[in-house]
């Protein structure tokens, strides 16, 4: 294990990580592949590409803290571990869907429904 210094809400933190054969990818203490020197998960970058259809260049424009090398390394890691990471993506989406269905309707949404603005 080694540590990577990252900025979170303006505070410097040391995140425990393990090296991989990918220069810009590290595995955190939970076993999650992260983009080195950032707090971004590899699957978050992949999901952004899936959602928006962005090219690596467009991803860099929207995530200026990442270098092109980091972005390409994340995609190389993804393609080499596709089955495992697709499973993690599916689990994240399933969790989000479950939370969405179990969430209580807010008073604002209830008011909009009462007014006929929302169905």
Domain spans of the chain? 2-114
pLDDT tens digit sequence for 89-119:
999 999 999 998 888 888 998 899 999 998 8
Query: What is the biggest distance separating any 2 CA atoms in the chain, rounded to whole angstroms?
Result: 57
CA–CA separation, 64 vs 32, rounded Å?
Answer: 22
pLDDT tens digit sequence for 71-82:
999 999 999 999
Q: What is the pTM of this model?
A: 0.71
Residue 7 CA, chain-centre distance (Å), reads 16
pLDDT tens digit sequence for 5-37:
555 566 665 555 566 789 999 999 899 999 999
Locate 50 and state its tokens: 């899936």
Burial tier of 74 (Cβ tally within 10 Å: 0-12, 13-18, 19+): buried
pLDDT tens digit sequence for 49-61:
999 999 999 999 9
């Amino acid at each position: 294990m080694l540590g990577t210094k990252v900025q979170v809400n303006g505070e410097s933190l040391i995140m425990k990580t393990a090296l991989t054969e990918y220069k810009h990818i590290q595995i955190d203490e939970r076993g999650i592949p992260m983009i080195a020197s950032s707090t971004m998960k590899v699957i978050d970058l992949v999901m952004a590409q899936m959602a928006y259809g962005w090219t690596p260049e467009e991803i860099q424009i929207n995530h200026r803290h990442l270098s092109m090398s980091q972005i390409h390394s994340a995609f190389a890691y993804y393609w080499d571990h596709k089955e495992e990471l697709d499973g993690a993506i599916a689990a994240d989406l399933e969790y989000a869907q479950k939370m969405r269905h179990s969430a209580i309707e807010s008073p604002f949404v209830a008011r909009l429904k009462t007014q006929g603005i929302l169905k």
